[in-house]
Amino acid sequence: MAGRVAGKVAIVTGAASGLGRAMALGLAGSGMHVVAVDRDAANLATLKPAGVGRVGAVLHHAADLSRPDIFEGVVGAALKEFGRIDVLVNNAGVAIDGLAVRTKDDDWDRTLDTNLKGAFALCRAAARPMMKQRSGAIVNLTSVVGEMGNVGQAAYAASKAGLIGLTKSLARELSSRNIRVNAVSPGFIDTDMTAGMNAELKAKMTEAIPLGRLGTADEVARAVLFLASDAASYVTGEVLKVNGGMYM
C-alpha cells in the first residue's frame, strides 16, 4: 500500500497524541508528507516518523483547533511547503461528558465547535485546492458513540453523528472532482484515555465487544491509511467501523 501513497501530502489534526499520532506516523511511514496539527506544541515537536526507506517529511503546525479560522492558515502552510494537499484527516476532538440535563451551553458549544464546526471548516478550506487538482481524499474520524449513542455523552455523540452526515454530503458534492470523502468509526481503543479506567469498567466494556478486546491505535491508523490510499479508489461516502464488532 505504501507505493500508492508515497510522495502524497496529508494534513492530520489532533496529531500530538493517541489516535492522531498513530495516524500521522502511519501515513509518514508509508511515504507521505504529513502536516501534523495540534495545539500541544511540545508533544507535536516529538513526532518523528520511524523506520527506513521512503519516509515522508513531517511539518508541525501548532493550532487551537476550536477556532475554525485557523484552518485557512493550516492549509496555506501545507501548500507553501509542499505545493498540494492530497489527504485530509480530521481527527481532532474533545469530549466533555455529563448528563444532558446538566450540560452547560459553553461545554456543548466547545464540543460542537471543535469536533464538527472545526472539521467542516478544514474540509471547506482543503477542498478548494483539491478541486483545482481534481483529486483528493478526506477521512473524518467519527465514533461508535456517534452511531449508537451513549449515556452522558449527548454533546460528543451529536458532534460525531454530525460528522457522518457531513461525510456523506461532501462525498456527493465533491465526487465530480474525483475527491473521495469517508469516515472511520473507532470503538473502544486502548489509548491514554482508556488506560485511566478502572479494571471493572474496562472488563464491562470488553464484554460488549465480540472480538473480546479493545482495539489499538495502529489498527485505526491502518483503516485511515487504506481510505487515504488508491487502494480505496472506488470507496466514498462510507463509514468504516473499527470496533471489534461492538456495533454492526
Active site residues: 156
- Residues 114/66, Cβ–Cβ less than 8 Å: yes
Give the residue carrying C-alpha cell 498540494.
Answer: 84
DSSP codes joined into one string, 109-120? HHHHIIIIIHHH
Which residues pair with residue 74 across a beta bridge? Answer: none
Coil vs helix vs strand at 70: helix
Which strand (E) or helix (H) includes residue 17?
none
Conformational region of residue 8, where left means phi above 0, alpha means psi within -120 to 50, and beta covers everything else: beta
State how far the Cα of 36 lies from the Cα of 88, in Å rounded to an integer. 11
Nearest alpha carbon to residue 70 among 33, 125, 14, 145? 125
